[in-house]
Amino acid sequence: MHINQKGFSTLLVAIVVSLIAVAIVYFVFVKEPAEQVDPLLVGNNTIYVSNTKPDVKVNVAFAIFESGGYVVIYDDSEDGSGSIIGNSTILPQGESRGFDIALSRESVDGEALYAMLHFDNGDGVFNFAEDPPIQDGQGNIMSMRFHVFSDTTESGVISL
């Protein structure tokens, strides 16, 4: 069988178009999407605490404040209100890394805790009633949930 140049070009184009169509069908309809992971968003006010072992302190990997404030640790209550179980001293504008926050009780294996950013009213002393939580542009409170596990391994260095 002999195929001329024009016939060969047409055959080649048909094969390429078919392969592209098969790839589109595969990636749109067949392939299962990768597990979605919420990205760590870094902005003017940011917090990151990795999972930790039970202890009387929590290590904050980093906190970034647009104008200074506090990192406050809350426990996870059933009604969602949570009790404050620790807070940092006043932190300056900019980035603070690798600091500990003493807790009022030992954290418990399996529990969830929250690290939340709070403004300072200017007096340099944390007061829940006068130092409100920091919110992003959409009104979301700047916090992150982390867990306490006995078998947690130490996290690596976070670099931004």
Is residue 145 helix, strand or coil? Answer: strand
33-41 contacts, C-beta under 8 A, 24 or more apart:
none
Please state the pTM of the whole predicted model. 0.70
In a domain, 60, yes or no: yes
Enter the DSSP assignment of 14: H
Enter the DSSP assignment of 91: B
In a domain, 160, yes or no: no
In a domain, 74, yes or no: yes
Amino acid at 89: T
Range of the domain at 110: 46-147
- CATH (domain of 54): 2.60.40
Report the candidate in 148, 146, 160, 139 with the shortest Cα–Cα distance to residue 50.
Answer: 146
| pLDDT for 108 | 94
C-alpha to C-alpha distance for 45 and 63, rounded to whole angstroms: 7
In a domain, 66, yes or no: yes
In a domain, 9, yes or no: no
In a domain, 65, yes or no: yes
In a domain, 129, yes or no: yes
pLDDT along the chain (160 residues), means of 10: 66 67 61 45 82 96 94 81 92 95 96 95 94 91 93 61
Domain count, the chain: 1
| pLDDT for 38 | 44
In a domain, 33, yes or no: no
Residues 6+ apart with CB under 8 A from 149: 51, 52, 53, 109, 110
| pLDDT for 158 | 53
